[in-house]
C-alpha cells in the first residue's frame, strides 16, 4: 500500500513539474528597456539611476536586469488590471519625499500589468497616499 502511494505521488509530482515547465516555455519573454532617472528601490534593495530592463518570463515573474542583462532581482508579482491598455510600456513608482519604489509594470497593449509587492516601510508610505511617478519606456523587444 505504501509503495503504491509513493509511486502515485511521484507520478503526480512529475506530471505537475512537466506541465509547469511546458506552460512556462510557451510564455514568450517580454522585455522593457528603460532609463530610470532617479534612485529607486525594489523590495528592500536600492538601485541607482540608470539603464535597466524588466523581463517577464511568466505571468507572475519579473526580473530586473542591469544594462549588461544580468538579473539583479527576481520578483513574484501580483496581477493588476486597467480599463485602457497603455500604448507604450510604462513603469509606475511610488514617490515620497524624493524616494521612489517600483510599484507597477505595464506592457504596451496589455490590460493586465504586474504589481510589485512593497516592503513594509513602503506599504506604510502607500497608505499615506504617496505620489505616483510614471516613466514611459521608449523601446521594448
Q: Each residue of 83-106: pLDDT tens digit?
A: 999 999 999 998 887 889 999 999
Q: CA torsion 13→17→23→28, rounded to 10°?
A: 160
Q: 38 vs 128, which has greater pLDDT? A: 38
Sign of CA dihedral 130, 74, 91, 81: negative
Provide the b/e sequence for 111-133 (b: ≥16 CB within 10 Å): eebbbbebeeebeebeeeebeeb
58 and 89 Cβ atoms separated by less than 8 Å: no
Angstrom distance (rounded) from CA 122 to CA 42: 10
Across 2-89, the runs of DSSP E, i.e. the strands, are 30-36, 40-42, 45-47, 50-58, 61-65, 71-76, 78-81
**pLDDT at position 28 over 90:** no
Looking at every residue in the chain, the average pLDDT score rounds to 80
Q: 135 vs 141, which has greater pLDDT? A: 135
Return the H-helix or E-strand segment holding 106: strand 99-106
Amino acid at each position: 500500500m505504501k509503495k503504491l502511494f509513493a509511486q502515485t505521488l511521484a507520478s503526480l509530482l512529475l506530471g505537475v513539474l512537466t506541465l509547469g515547465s511546458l506552460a512556462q516555455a510557451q510564455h514568450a519573454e517580454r522585455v522593457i528597456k528603460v532609463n530610470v532617472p532617479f534612485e529607486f528601490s525594489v523590495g528592500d534593495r536600492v538601485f541607482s539611476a540608470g539603464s535597466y530592463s524588466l523581463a517577464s518570463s511568466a505571468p507572475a515573474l519579473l526580473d530586473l536586469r542591469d544594462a549588461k542583462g544580468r538579473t539583479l532581482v527576481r520578483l513574484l508579482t501580483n496581477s493588476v488590471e486597467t480599463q485602457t491598455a497603455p500604448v507604450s510600456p510604462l513603469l509606475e513608482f511610488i514617490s515620497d519625499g524624493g524616494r521612489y519604489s517600483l510599484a507597477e509594470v505595464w506592457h504596451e497593449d496589455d490590460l493586465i500589468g504586474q504589481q510589485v509587492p512593497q516592503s513594509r516601510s513602503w506599504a506604510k508610505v502607500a497608505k499615506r497616499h504617496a505620489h505616483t511617478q510614471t516613466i514611459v519606456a521608449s523601446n521594448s523587444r
